[in-house]
Amino acid sequence: MKRGLLLVISGPSGVGKGTVCQALLARDPSLYLSISVTTRPPRAGEIDGKDYFFVSEEQFLEMVARGELLEWARVYSYYYGTPREPVDRALLAGRDVLLEIDVQGGFKVRENCPDSVLVFLLPPSWEELRQRLARRGTEGWQAQQQRLEWARQELALYPRYDYSVVNDRLEDTVATVEAIRLAERHRSFRQQFPWLRSLFDR
Of 73, 70, 75, 79, whose CA–CA distance to 109 is shortest?
70
The neighbouring-strand residues paired with 52 are 48
Average pLDDT over residues 14-26: 95
Output the pLDDT for position 190.
Answer: 85
Average pLDDT over residues 72-93: 93
137 pLDDT above the threshold of 80 = no
Output the pLDDT for position 132.
Answer: 87
Cβ atoms of 93 and 3 within 8 Å: the answer is no
202 pLDDT above the threshold of 70 = no
Is 6-34+95-200 a domain of CATH 2.40.50.140?
no
Output the pLDDT for position 142.
Answer: 81
Which is higher by pLDDT, 62 or 200?
A: 62
20 pLDDT above the threshold of 80 = yes
The proportion of the chain whose per-residue pLDDT surpasses 90, expressed as a percent, equals: 75
Q: CB count, 10 Å around CB of 3?
A: 14
91 pLDDT above the threshold of 80 = yes
Output the pLDDT for position 196.
Answer: 82
* pTM of the predicted structure, to 2 decimals: 0.88
Give first-to-last CA distance, the chain, whole Å: 23
Confidence of residue 197 (pLDDT cuts 50, 70, 90): confident
Of 107, 113, 106, whose CA–CA distance to 92 is shortest?
113
Domain boundaries, the chain: 6-34+95-200
Tell me: the pLDDT tens digits for 110-136?
999 999 999 999 999 999 999 988 887
The proportion of the chain whose per-residue pLDDT surpasses 70, expressed as a percent, equals: 98
Cβ atoms of 147 and 40 within 8 Å: the answer is no
161 pLDDT above the threshold of 60 = yes
Average pLDDT over residues 94-100: 96
174 pLDDT above the threshold of 90 = yes
